C-alpha cells in the first residue's frame, strides 16, 4: 500500500505522456448509441434514467433554457461515469483534480451569466442591488454581490473536488487499517472490513449525487439568467 495518501491522485504517466486525456474520453465508450429498432435492457435503462433526470432538471426552464438540455445531460453522464470509474482498484479519478473541475465550472458559469446579460440585461444588473437598499449601503452591497457571483464557479469546483477526494481518502485509510488489524485482531479486522464495504457502497451513491448536484446547480444558474 502507498505510504503517501495522495499518490492515487497523481495523473498517471506512460513514457512521459499524461493519460488524463484518454481517461477523460473513456467514459463516452460506456454509453453506446443503439441502431436497432428494439434496444437491449442496458440502453433502455440508460434512456429511462436520462428521461427521468431531464424531466426533473429541465422542467423549470423556458424555451431558451431548454436548449441547454443536451449539454447538461452530457455533463451529468460524464461526471457520474468518471466518479464511478474512479472507484475501481488502481484507477484514476479526473474529478479529484481541481484544475479539471474549474475547467468545467468556469465556462458553464460564464455561459449562463453571458446568456443572462444578453437576454435579461436589466434583471441581471438588478441582482447586484436589491430593491429598497439604503443609499449608504449601495457600494458595499454591489461589491458583495459581485464577489458572490464570481465565487459560484469556484464553489462548484471545490465542492466536487472535496467530496470525491474525501471519499477516496477514507477508503484508503480504512483499507490500510483493515490490513494492519489482520495480524493483530481478526475480529477487529472483520469489523473494519464491514465498515469499508459500507463506505464503498456510500461512495457509489456520493459519486452519482455529486454529479447530479453539480449539474443541478449549473441548471439553477441557467434558470436565473433565462
Can you state the angle between helices 186-224 and 98-119, rounded to 10 degrees? Answer: 20
- Which residues contact residue 169 at a Cβ distance below 8 angstroms, ignoring those fewer than 6 apart? 5
**Cβ contact 36:94 at 8 Å:** no
Query: pLDDT under 70 in the chain at which residues?
Result: 1-23, 27-39
- Distance, CA of 160 to CA of 89 (rounded, Å): 21
Return the pLDDT at 51: 81
Return the pLDDT at 3: 53
**Cβ contact 92:86 at 8 Å:** yes
Domain ranges of the chain: 18-225
* Rg of the chain in Å (alpha carbons): 22
- Distance, CA of 37 to CA of 139 (rounded, Å): 62
Return the pLDDT at 9: 61
**Cβ contact 213:80 at 8 Å:** no
Residues of the chain with pLDDT > 70, as a percent, come to 83
Each residue's pLDDT tens digit, 110-120: 998 888 888 88
Return the pLDDT at 118: 85
Return the pLDDT at 214: 92
Amino acid at each position: 500500500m502507498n505510504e503517501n495518501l495522495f499518490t492515487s491522485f497523481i495523473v498517471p504517466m506512460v513514457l512521459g505522456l499524461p493519460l488524463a486525456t484518454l481517461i477523460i474520453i473513456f467514459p463516452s465508450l460506456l454509453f453506446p448509441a443503439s441502431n436497432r429498432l428494439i434496444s437491449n435492457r442496458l440502453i433502455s435503462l440508460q434512456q429511462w434514467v436520462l428521461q427521468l433526470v431531464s424531466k426533473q432538471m429541465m422542467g423549470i426552464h423556458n424555451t431558451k433554457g431548454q436548449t441547454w438540455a443536451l449539454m447538461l445531460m452530457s455533463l451529468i453522464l460524464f461526471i457520474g461515469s468518471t466518479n464511478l470509474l474512479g472507484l475501481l482498484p488502481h484507477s484514476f479519478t479526473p474529478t479529484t483534480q481541481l484544475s479539471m473541475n474549474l475547467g468545467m465550472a468556469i465556462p458553464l458559469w460564464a455561459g449562463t451569466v453571458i446568456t443572462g446579460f444578453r437576454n435579461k440585461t436589466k434583471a441581471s444588473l438588478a441582482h447586484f442591488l436589491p430593491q429598497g437598499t439604503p443609499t449608504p449601503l449601495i457600494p458595499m452591497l454591489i461589491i458583495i454581490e459581485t464577489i458572490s457571483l464570481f465565487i459560484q464557479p469556484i464553489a462548484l469546483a471545490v465542492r466536487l473536488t472535496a467530496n470525491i477526494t474525501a471519499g477516496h481518502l477514507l477508503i484508503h485509510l480504512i483499507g490500510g487499517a483493515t490490513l494492519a488489524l489482520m495480524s493483530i485482531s481478526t475480529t477487529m479486522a472483520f469489523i473494519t472490513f464491514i465498515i469499508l464495504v459500507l463506505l464503498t457502497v456510500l461512495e457509489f451513491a456520493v459519486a452519482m449525487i455529486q454529479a447530479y448536484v453539480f449539474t443541478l446547480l449549473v441548471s439553477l444558474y441557467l434558470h436565473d439568467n433565462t
